[in-house]
Amino acid sequence: MNKRVHVYYSGSVQGVGFRFTTERVASKLGLKGWVRNIEDGRVELVCEGEESAVDALLAKISEVFAGYIREASVERSDPGGEFEDFEVRS
């Protein structure tokens, strides 16, 4: 079953390779969507794909960036199907 997540990560999440690590892992898992830095210091992630792959991405992010993430606000929904791949946005 496909799922979509929209996540805001706060903490020391910019300038630590967060976006490019997320892109690499998401692409390997076959997920589609994007990740970007926000001016307020948070990172925003929107991705969709197989629910198990989405969960694997979130778990990997939590594992790799455990010392940097203070909070993650996660919203789950049905996929929109508008993405062709996974990208880093500016």
- Span 35-53, pLDDT tens digits: 999 999 999 999 999 999 9
Supply the pLDDT for residue 75.
98
**CA-based R_g, the chain, Å:** 12
Catalytic one of 2, 24, 37, 76: 37
70 is known as an active-site residue: no
Counts of helices then strands in the chain (DSSP H, E): 2, 5
Catalytic one of 2, 19, 70, 76: 19
The parts of the chain modelled with pLDDT lower than 70 are none
Residue with token string 């999440």: 13
4 is known as an active-site residue: no
Of 3.40.50.720, 3.20.20.70, 3.30.70.100, 3.40.50.10800, which CATH number belongs to 2-77? 3.30.70.100
Strands (E), 14-68: 32-37, 43-50
Q: What are the sequence ranges of the domains in the chain? A: 2-77
Supply the pLDDT for residue 78.
96
